[in-house]
Structure 1
Amino acid sequence: MGVLGVGLYGSNEPTLNFETSINQSYHVALEIIFYIGFLIAFAVKLSILPLHTWLPDTHREAHYSTSCASITDTGLSGAILQIISHGFIGAALFFLAGTSYDRIRLVYLDEMGGVAIPMPKIFTMFSSFSMASLALPGMSGFVAEVLVFLGIITSQKYLLMPKIAITFVMAIGMILTPIYLLSMSRQIFYGYKLFNTPNSYVFDSGPRELFVSISIFISVISIGMYLDFVLSLSVDKVEGILSNYFYR
């Protein structure tokens, strides 16, 4: 809503062009409203205290069908690639979570277990995208994180200690990601069958669901394997952004 408000304000020709919006003059009260709105939105998205419990509730209630620190060319390319990678992987995980819920009608991890036995296809795809999310080499998440790290290390805007601090914070996230993803996969797919649904009513992915999952997975693998081609599509835009907004 905030983005739409910025794009629609004070113009007969609504636009989402970044350069036009940044040069647009706004009333002071409206700027304050926009600032507070974006601050709350990003605080929820980044799980900042005291709003850190809101995002999981939003994800749980949302239906699955609707639902960087370095200013260098390498770092910005990595950030853009991370956004694209997160879009693919996040969409796939939400889709698989939704298809699983359609079958077992359970949302709490402590009620699940042994789901891999009646639904091996969903288990395989969910595990594959979990590996992609924790940046397994050869997938889009890995190359994106490597580029972001390289952008920080090679940046001339930071001294050694800020680089170490930023890298340390990022490393914490990389450590926590496999902890919660692997723990979640273990509780859902491994162990004993804890849910009380007869096997006759639990069926695996159909052709359409497999087509959607595999199509997204091919995109994730393609970005990881053909990085040079993917970066060549955005290199001019990245250099233009850096030269226009950060190197003036």
Structure 2
Amino acid sequence: MSDSQNQTEDFSGDALLIQIDAFRDKAKQLQSLIGAKQKKVVALESLVKEREAALSEKEYKIAQLQRELDEKQEEADSLVTTVEAQVDRMLSSMRGDLVHLEKEISDKIAAGNQEEAQKLAEILSKVSDSIEEMKESLAEDPDALSLDDVRRELSDKIHSENVKVYRNLTDTVKELDHAEDMNVSMEMRYQSLKKRNMVTTVFLIIEFIALVFILLGVFHVITF
């Protein structure tokens, strides 16, 4: 009876030792698993820090790029504003010249019309005086002048006055042609100035876009 009891106790002790050994093995496995997990956590934390550092560097580069772009934009805006101001001043000056020229032309035309009207009245007055003189001559001596002589004398006087009027009109037309040529020349200058301003603006935009791409490439924001 005691032998059976001893065998039972030995068996129970062996089973307990086996369980303890199994528990130790499981504890070691769990510890190894925990260690592996901890290594993964450390590696993950390191990766997160690297990503955060890389992201911070990217954000810094982007902020720096944005500052430089803002500066270039301000320079471009300032240059465009300066060019536009210069063009506006030149156009204002040209418009003032055109207004002054148009006033001079109008004054000359008005003065010319008044002068020609006065000359025409003088011509008519002279012709009328000549006719009266001829009437008086004919009344005094009917045989002194023939009808052809009267016509010839009147024709000569009218022709002489017409030549003077024609010359005055020719001078006026020449002045108007000169004024028209000046007007056309100023209009051509105005159109040329507008084209040059447009070309300058286009080149500024192209240079600004090229600068953006160059800076993006330098900071590796984009790759070519």
Normalising by structure 2, we get a TM-score of: 0.30
* Structure (1/2) with the larger helix percentage: 2
Q: Which has the larger radius of gyration?
A: 2
- TM-score (normalizing by structure 1): 0.28
